[in-house]
Amino acid sequence: MMSITLKNIPQSLHRLLKRQASLNHRSLNREMIVCLESSVYSPRVGAEAFLKRVRKLRTRISVKLTDRFIASHKRRGLS
Digit-coded pLDDT (tens) for 41-63: 988 889 999 999 999 998 888 88
Per-residue confidence (pLDDT) for residue 79, from 0 to 100: 58
Range of the domain at 22: 11-41
For residue 18, is it within any domain? Answer: yes
**Which parts of the chain fold into alpha helices (H)?**
11-23, 28-41, 47-59, 67-75
- pLDDT confidence bin for 78, thresholds 50/70/90: low
Q: How far is CA 45 from each of CA 42, 50, 52, 60, rounded to the nearest angstrom?
A: 9, 6, 11, 21
For residue 77, is it within any domain? Answer: no
For residue 53, is it within any domain? Answer: no
Domain count along the chain:
1
